[in-house]
Amino acid sequence: MGRSETSKYYREYKPDLFWQSYIECLWEYHIAPQILKEANQLYLPDGSPQLILVLKGSYDRYFTDGRTEHISGSVFIPQRSSAVRIEHESGTKLFGIRFKPYGIRCVINEPMSEFSEMSFPLYKLLSRKDTQELKTAAISSDVNKKLLGVQKVLTKHFRALPVNTRIIDLIKYISIDHGISVRELAKKFSMSVSTLEKLFNSYIGISAKNYMKIMRLNKSVRYYRTGTSLYPNLTETGIEAEFYDQSHFIKDFRQVTGITPGQYFRENNIFNLFVISSIEKKTEF
């Protein structure tokens, strides 16, 4: 299934200029019967927290450690350090808001370390009234009204990041250099490792080390996706993604997904590949 065919079922929209500093995109995903098999697959963490509104149907999330959950309402999906296999009910329709790694803190004004990888009911964060208002806007068939309505609700809860936080600069730098060590990163920004980790736990929700690992894995998927051969060389893929060597690449991939990169690509996780490939950079300023 090619990009144009995929776009019939999955679409992304740019937010308004103001929200582009905090949101990567708004998206719609219709799991029609003809794409159910491709949609039900293993999804890698992508470094982006999300708000997801189930407009119709439901889906189940299966984590590699055995945890499971059923999603049928409006939820906050925090950062993930591990892959999750998703099984959708046929005909499910979703609307989502994919935030930049730090962007969610401008809407949900709580430390991200308070949340696990499991979903969290959105009404407990935004109120039942605003959650319903989000859903009402998302259902609109008029794209402009849809996007304006959703962003209007988010604006009610907006709170700017403290001017002295370095988290945006840190994320921006990591988007350029995924291979830097935590110690080197802290030194570059003239802070202690403990201060750096506190920033990541508060604003991102996972450690700096795990975040950088996720960025490298996503880069490997984008590189693999654009490779000229059907199955590009995994050694080259790992090096391109700034892993030290192939064994390091395979070890980290297995740790996050439970399978090797070769197994993952052979499973042809087309929609995960499409979504990851559509985000060329995690931060654009």
Residues 220, 84: one domain?
A: no
CATH value at residue 254: 1.10.10
Distance of CA 153 to the CA centre of its chain: 21
Residue 282 covered by a domain: no
Residue 162 covered by a domain: no
Q: How far apart are CA 113 and CA 123, in angstroms?
A: 19
Residue 229 covered by a domain: yes
Residues 267, 189: one domain?
A: no
SS3 154: helix
Contacts of 120 (CB under 8 A, 6+ apart): 75, 76, 78
> 156, 176, 192 — which closes off a domain?
156
Q: How far apart are CA 267 and CA 269, in angstroms?
A: 6
Residue 52 has a pLDDT of 98
Residue 154 has a pLDDT of 98
Contacts of 39 (CB under 8 A, 6+ apart): 9, 29, 31, 86, 88, 271
**CA 227 vs CA 46, 206, 216, 234: distances in Å:** 20, 30, 16, 11
Residue 80 covered by a domain: yes
Residue 285 covered by a domain: no
Helices (H) and strands (E) in the chain, counts: 13, 10
Residue 280 has a pLDDT of 47
Residues 33, 91: one domain?
A: yes
Sequence-ordered alpha helix ranges (H) in the chain: 3-6, 36-39, 123-126, 128-139, 143-156, 167-176, 182-188, 193-203, 208-225, 234-240, 246-257, 261-266, 270-277
Walking along the chain (285 residues) 10 residues at a time, the average pLDDT comes out as 64 94 95 90 90 98 94 96 94 97 94 94 97 97 96 96 89 86 94 95 94 86 62 68 76 87 74 54 40
Residue 161 covered by a domain: no
Residues 127, 56: one domain?
A: yes
Residues 175, 35: one domain?
A: no
The model's pLDDT over 172-190, given as tens digits with 9 standing for 90+, comes to: 999 888 778 899 999 999 9
> 118, 134, 156 — which closes off a domain?
156
**Overall domain count for the chain:** 3
Q: How far apart are CA 65 and CA 84, in angstroms?
A: 10
Q: How far apart are CA 129 and CA 240, in angstroms?
A: 47
H/E element, 25: strand 23-30
Q: Check: CB of residue 281 under 8 Å from CB of residue 12.
A: no
Residue 284 covered by a domain: no
Residue 191 phi/psi, 5-degree rounding, is -140, 160
The domain of 242 spans 213-277
Residue 128 covered by a domain: yes
Q: How far apart are CA 76 and CA 120, in angstroms?
A: 5
Residues 136, 24: one domain?
A: yes
CATH value at residue 148: 2.60.120.10
Residue whose structure tokens are 């979703």: 94
Residues 49, 95: one domain?
A: yes
